[in-house]
Structure 1
Amino acid sequence: MTASEATITARLSAPIRFVLGLGILVGFAAAGQALVTVTGLPLPGSVVGLALLWAALGLKIIRLHWIADAADGLLGILGLLFVPATVGFIGYLSAGAAWGLWLLVMTAGLLVGGGVAGLLASRLARPEV
């Protein structure tokens, strides 16, 4: 960061820095969603937007101090953002009884598949004697 960049961003008030940083973050999320919509990638748009932001930060197109205030603010309320998902999960708890056998089969399949993959990996990774 050059002295002139630090001076420009330092002169902005904290709410302005927050709103500008939030705008950048939302812009990358929207760009990721647009890219997924146009290309048909089988990924969530927010994940693609995060990858784009990561690339922009790595290439120094976006400076970290531009988004730091907004990112810190969002991380501060991260727990609150899980409330809707938790409420939705609790709403489906009664359906869990009907899914018991399905969950048992899925868990068994996961354990068997993981065990077989582990055994294969250990045999393939073992050096030849």
Structure 2
Amino acid sequence: MNKSTTERLAEFMSLMEINNNMLTVAAGLSVGQIGKAIANNSGINSTSIEKILFAYPNINPEWLLTGKGEMLKTATVVKIEDDNSTSVQEPDYKILYEEAKYTIALQKKYIENLEARLDDQ
């Protein structure tokens, strides 16, 4: 059985060592909303999901909502359709750089968590 959106969010939070309060503050959510949703494995409304994705831009929305793909998204070149033609927009390298720095920080946390788990075994 697939995990729910709430379970996947809890998985991300655990991996990144983000507690309910940290996520609530970062995403501008109601106090207690995330804790209750995780405790009850209840759904999260679309507005809250949007706020979470905005606060944590490297969460792959498809993974969060469906479980498909990787937890963290990767930067891609945007295709623009105009008058039945497709062109490729030049990526914003400053954004790519910032996303890469953020991804590296998340990967370091992930590695630290894995190492801690190995030490505990």
- TM-score (norm: length of structure 1): 0.29
- TM-score (norm: length of structure 2): 0.31
Question: Greater CA radius of gyration, 1 or 2?
Answer: 1
Higher helix share: 1
